[in-house]
Structures are given as C-alpha cells and as structure tokens.
Amino acid sequence: MLEGRRRTRLTLVLVLATLLITAACSSDDGTTDSTSSTGSAEEGASLTVYSGREEEFVAPLFEQFEADTGIEVDVRYGDSAELAATIVEEGEGSPADVFFSQDAGSLGAVAEAGSFAPLGLEILDRVEERFRSPEGLWVGASGRGRVAVYNSEALDASELPPSILDLADERWQDRIGLPPTNSSFQAHVAAMMLTIGEEKTREWLEGLVANGVRFYEDNGATTRAVAAGEIDVGLVNHYYKYEVEAEDGSLPIQNHFFETGDPGSFVNTAGVGILAGAADAEAAGTFVDYVMGEAGQAWVAEETWEYPVVPGLEPSVELLSIDRFVGPESQVDLSELGPALPAALQLLADVGMV
C-alpha cells in the first residue's frame, strides 16, 4: 500500500511541475498589489477550505471560527502537496476559497501557479518577513521546527550529532526512520537543496538509504516507532513528541535540535492563502484575519505545540526560541520552496524514497 502511495505522490508532483511550467509561461510579469483588504463577511456566509492540516488537529479551530463568526466552513482534508496539485489543476474552477497548508512549499507551489489573490498589508505585517510571501500571496500561521526525535532509553543526548548530515554515517545503520511521503519532510529536502545544493543533499539521502533507513507513513508513526524502540532516531516536526504523548502518555522520547546554521536546523511554517477565484472573498478574508488574529494565534499558543508567529505569544510548552532556527545554512526564503518542490520530489524518487 505504501508503494502505491509513493507512485501516486510522484505522479501528482510531476503533474504539478507541468502545470507550474505552463502557468509560468502563460502568466504576466508576476507582480502583485499586496495592499488589498481581506474584507469582513456577514454572518450566514460560507466558504470552502482545502486543508493540508490534519482533521483531528485543526477541526477545533474551524468549529471555533464558525461559532465566533457565524460563517459555515466546508473543509476538504488531504495532504498539502496533493491539495496544491489539485488547486493548480482545477485552476479558476476550483471550489476552494482558502488553502490552509501544512508547509510553505505547498503554498509556494500554488503561488507560483498564480492561483492566489494578494493579501492586505494589515495581515502580512503581523509576522516577520520570513514567514510570508514576498509578493503578499500567503502568510504563515504557525512555526514548525525540524528535529530528530530520539529514544532516550537507547541514546544519551550527548550521542546525537550536531549536524543532520552526520546521520548518513554508517554508525547509524538501521537506526534512522522518516516519513518520505510527508510534505514537511519533502519541503525540508527542498530547503536543503536550496542551501547546501543538490549534490550534497543527494549524497545525504543516498547515505540514509545505504544505511537501511526505515520509512513510515507520517510523523506520528515515525515518532511512535522511536518510542517503541524500532528505530533510535526519527526525522519529524518538533511538536510530534507532544502530540503523541498527549494521546499515548509519557514515552521515552526527546527532541534533538541540530546546531544553529546546520541544514537540519530548519523552521517551516503552516500558512494560509486566498484563492484568486474564491466564490466568497470576504468570507475567505475573514477566515485569514481570524487565523492571524488574537483568537487564531491564541489557539496556536494554547491548544497546539507549535510556535505562534505573531509577536507577543509564547508556545504552550518550553521550546527552543524560534530564532534558534536562523543561521547561514538554515535561513532559506520559504517562498522559494514551492518552485523547488518538484525537483526535491524527483530527487527523492531517484534515491528510492518515493
């Protein structure tokens, strides 16, 4: 079944790459006016959200939004990369009003295809520039640091390497796991290609494969495999330790953060954008304003284990500062992840991961 999902994912990515090239060839100069307003919808309105965020994770936020605004939300859940490909393929006929993505790479793919409408500066200016599209087409809603979750009964913290590249060393034979079809991992590979280059990234991936890296369906499954002792280390987003423990109880797992400046020290962002063909742009604007406003960011801070991206709010658990992820190698323009994603997926296919 996993092999079938890999083939499906590669097909979708190749479709997305073709659509992006077509869109780029037929678009204008690509400039946008990022000063347009998000608007305010009347109660009784409705909107359709394509959500790459998992239902069990974000459904409470949608319910809270409906209760607070009176706007009905119809949600289509799916993998962020697959939803991005769907949006681009659907074009102006897409029923989606909003794309709520798990990662910036998928947002960038939709932006590259010209499928987003510009957001207003009153929304964009709420976050640092690194957490938004330079063209004002999408905005980050929460920060997601990449880490190595490890089994604390099998390893001491001092045994973890300072660089993610060291995990390709033969001493990690049969000890590493990751979810190759997960969009967050794929976006991280794209970020590595942008910072250390395709050749070094390929060498690292090939080293993992040669070491017998184990593949899992998603971040949660990878984290549970670490806790169960199937593997010693898993490459996931930082908050999965807390999410899995909230469901399963205390586990022998800890997060390892790679050193600042390392290609493993990377922070991505979940985020939102309004589709250019949104049937109800005002309702869509109200949703984005809500997610990026006091209620939505308080939800991130209090109900999740992610980093709020609007200044003044702290995460619900004690984490390394989000600024810890900024360095000469890890600081990548998140808007570049979308255009880089097809090449990253092709590289993963070349080494046999998808």
Structure tokens that stand for 264 in this block: 């493993």
The pLDDT value given to residue 218: 93
User: Residue length, the chain?
Assistant: 354
pLDDT of residue 32: 39
Asked if residue 181 lies in contact with residue 80, where contact means CB atoms within 8 angstroms, the answer is no
**171: burial class by Cβ within 10 Å (0-12, 13-18, 19+)?**
exposed
Q: Is 128 left (phi over 0), alpha (psi -120 to 50) or beta?
A: beta
d(CA 354, CA 347) in angstroms, rounded, equals 9
Nearest to 314, CA basis, from 304, 326, 325: 304
What's the token pair of residue 22? 């077509």
Task: Yes or no: say if 269 and 309 are a contact pair by the CB < 8 Å rule.
Answer: yes
Q: Are 120 and 34 in contact (CB under 8 A)?
A: yes
Q: State how far the alpha carbon of 335 is from the alpha carbons of 2, 111, 285, in Å.
A: 30, 9, 21
- Residues in Cβ contact with 159 at an 8 Å cutoff, skipping those fewer than 6 apart: none
- Tokens 């390394």, residue? 320
* Joined tokens for residue 236: 């996931």
Q: How many CA atoms within 13 Å lie on the side-chain side of 207? A: 15
* pLDDT score recorded for residue 302: 85
DSSP 238-303: TTHHHHHHHHH---SEEEEPPPTTSTT--EEEEEEEEETT-S-HHHHHHHHHHHTSHHHHHHHHHH
Q: Are 164 and 258 in contact (CB under 8 A)?
A: yes
What pLDDT does residue 317 have?
Answer: 77
Q: Please say whether the beta carbons of 347 and 189 come within 8 A.
A: yes
Positive or negative: CA dihedral 176, 182, 187, 190? positive
Start-to-end CA distance of the chain, whole Å, equals: 12
pLDDT value for 326:
67
Backbone angles phi, psi at 336, to 5 degrees: -85, -10
Report pLDDT for 29. 41
Q: Which pLDDT score, from 0 to 100, does residue 327 have?
A: 55
Residue 40 confidence (pLDDT): 53
- Least Cα distance to 185 among 300, 111, 80 occurs for 80
- Rg of the chain over all Cα atoms, to the nearest angstrom: 19
Structural domains present in the chain: 2-143+269-318 (3.40.190.10), 144-266 (3.40.190.10)
Tell me how far apart the alpha carbons of residues 79 and 102 are, in angstroms, rounded to a whole number. Answer: 8
Tokens read off for 310: 């609007």
Q: What are phi and psi of 237, to 5 degrees?
A: -80, 155
Closest CA to 127 of 259, 270, 264: 270
Per-residue pLDDT of the chain (354 residues; tens, 9 = 90+): 444 444 444 445 554 554 444 444 444 444 334 334 455 556 679 999 999 998 988 999 999 999 999 999 999 999 898 999 999 999 999 999 999 998 998 999 999 999 999 999 999 999 999 899 999 999 999 999 999 999 999 999 999 999 999 999 999 999 999 999 988 899 899 999 999 999 999 999 999 999 999 999 999 999 999 999 999 999 999 999 999 999 999 999 999 999 988 999 999 999 999 999 999 999 999 999 999 999 999 999 888 889 999 988 888 777 777 877 765 445 688 889 888 988 999 999 999 999
101: number of Cβ within 10 Å: 33
What is the Cα–Cα distance from 180 to 221, expressed in whole angstroms?
12
